[in-house]
Amino acid sequence: MIKIGIIGANELCKQHISQLQTLEEFVITGLFDQHQDNAHEICRQFNIPYISDVAQLIESSDALDILSPVGTHFRYASKAIMQSRHVLLNGLISEDIREAKQLNELAIEANVNIKILHEDKFHPELKTLKRITKKPTYIECNRFQQKVLSISNDSLIFGMLLHDIDLLITVVGSNVRKVVANASRIFNTYIDFINVRIEFENGCIANINCGNFERSGANKILIYQKGDCISLDLETFHIKHMEKNDKGMLEEAPVSQSKTKSGDIIRNELQHFAQTILNRQRITHDTYQSFQSLRIAHQIIEKLHPTTLFDA
């Protein structure tokens, strides 16, 4: 059985605790968060101990589930890894490539795993999408969502855009050759829209539009390849596959849809994390792809220097 400590008292933390308490592979050692009132409330709700000292939590655990903001990932993960603890991180290993590289080197030295939690990438429909995506030539990705982000120029990149870059790299399965980016202030005084064009080494081109505002029904990935078009709804994960028939007309092809719920995806990710620890398997793909996505994010930041911005 794996003793796991949790860092970060938030809504995702509640989802993880509810799943961890049903998995025989884990026992929760406690919850730590600097905001004690919120943490105490969650601990009472789920009947788990509150640990006021993160060093004590690390000492009493075999693995850490770090669900705190990304800016704290390096601080907590490095402490855990240096104590030979496995680490599960939410969303990003870090916003800083140097920190991400250092965490990876520490994990190799300590012979422990770093797993990056990315709920969409573990969704069963993504496996279906990868299966029917043979040789994409062009991809259009649109995500518009009103989110509470900071007004810094890179908040939209790390808060929303990087998520979709990671998804597209998973689907395309190729290294990136070229990145072009533009940004705009449409509804706010800070950047709230970014367009990115990515050219992959296999010839595929992806055009990504990301906006920090609502646009109903627009959150989709459209994949074009010879003879067909595939769409993925980024909110429901419903897949629609249109194929060219013998008459040259597009018609909908049947696609087996999963009924997996969000909680099941989190459960599957936690079980996968447990198996890598119990079977002593090294996780390398997560950190490699995280590096690749981070490099693209920093290329975009460099290209979106204020002098290159265009205003709507």
For residues 218 and 131, membership in a common domain is answered with: yes
pLDDT, tens digit (0-9, with 9 covering 90-100), for 285-297: 566 777 788 889 8
Work out the mean pLDDT of the chain and round it to a whole number: 88
Per-residue pLDDT at 82: 96
Give the residue with greater pLDDT, 139 vs 262. Answer: 139
Per-residue pLDDT at 42: 96
Q: What is the mean pLDDT of residues 74-84?
A: 96
Per-residue pLDDT at 67: 94
Strand (E) positions, 160-286? 176-184, 193-200, 205-211, 220-225, 228-233, 239-244, 250-253
For residues 229 and 182, membership in a common domain is answered with: yes
Q: How many domains does the chain have?
A: 2
Task: Find the domain containing 224 and state its range.
Answer: 124-259+295-308
Provide the b/e sequence for 152-190 (b: ≥16 CB within 10 Å): ebbbbbbbbbbbbbbbbbbbbeeebeebebebeeeeeee
For residues 104 and 133, membership in a common domain is answered with: no
Q: What is the mean pLDDT of residues 221-237?
A: 92
For residues 228 and 162, membership in a common domain is answered with: yes
Distances (CA, A) of 280 to 3, 15, 275, 283: 15, 26, 8, 10
Residue 25 forms part of a structural domain: yes
For residues 300 and 159, membership in a common domain is answered with: yes
pLDDT, tens digit (0-9, with 9 covering 90-100), for 30-61: 999 998 999 999 999 999 999 999 999 999 99
For residues 92 and 188, membership in a common domain is answered with: no
Residue 286 forms part of a structural domain: no
Residues 204 and 174: their CA atoms lie apart, in Å, by 9
Laid out side by side, the sheet with 26-32 consists of 26-32, 2-7, 63-66, 86-90, 114-117
The helix/strand/coil state of 88 is: strand
Per-residue pLDDT at 263: 58
For residues 197 and 304, membership in a common domain is answered with: yes
Of 124, 165, 166, 134, nearest to 253 by C-alpha is: 134
Q: Which spans in the chain are helix H?
A: 11-20, 36-46, 54-59, 73-82, 97-110, 124-132, 155-156, 162-172, 262-278, 285-303
Residue 290 forms part of a structural domain: no
Q: Are 242 and 226 in contact (CB under 8 A)?
A: no
For the chain, how many residues are written?
312
For residues 140 and 110, membership in a common domain is answered with: no
For residues 103 and 246, membership in a common domain is answered with: no
Residues 270 and 254: their CA atoms lie apart, in Å, by 31
